[in-house]
Amino acid sequence: ELRTPLTLVTGYHRLLVDYDPITELTASDPAMAELVTGLNEAIDRMQVVIDEVLAFSRIMTNEIRLEIRPTYMAQVIEQAIERFQSAIDERNITIHYDAAHWPAEMRADAALIALTFENLLSNAIKATPDSGHIYLAARAKDDWVRMVVRDTGVGIKPEDQVKIFEHMHIVGEIGLHSTSKTAFGGGGLGLVLAICRGIVEAHGGTIKVKSPVFDSANYPGSEFIITMPLVPKGSGMSASLVSTG
């Protein structure tokens, strides 16, 4: 029901931008080009919102199955960085990342682990002011890996550090949020961290956050820590995604 009208809007939008008179007009009229670009960005944003709702719905109803296979974490992280590279460059954020520290191979659902780190990186970008820093680190020991996403952003109140992993919990004043996935102070539906928790726990891992305080003037930062087995139990077959509720 959510996808059907959006599919129609997306289709008509593509027809519109490929229509010769519109193409000529956007090429000669900056105002028209801005309108078309804004429409495209709005459609993309709506697609992201719908994907978040559907992913969380599947987690809550235990309808997603993990496809466990060899997963190269350095590749996962590099793809997540690449996805947000334009925003990282535009906002002059420095990413600290060393591929050599990440497991050469682990077994996981690569697509869902990629979604997890895309969400965490997006959150870090939104929490971090321009010219800030984001650190992506990992350390494997025995049969486990500890992966960290740390930012130099506004931080999180201690009383919110458990609640943020619950669905529909939004930190800060909603009225001050933008709808962007990468703008400083950007908001959302309050689902992405619940989705991250569901995915990590389905792999037999845990996710938590550390932050001394929320401070929009001094930027104490936040640290999201994921601990996961390198080889989940039952990894020889698909595993049901556990409910986060």
**pLDDT tens digits, 80-116:** 999 999 999 999 999 999 999 999 889 999 988 998 9
Render pLDDT for 164-221 as a digit per residue (tens, 0 to 9). Answer: 888 654 555 544 444 566 787 666 556 788 889 988 988 999 999 999 999 989 999 9
Tokens 């008509």, residue located: 12
The pTM (predicted TM-score) of the whole model is: 0.74
Distance CA 147, CA 125 (A): 17
Distance CA 138, CA 132 (A): 20
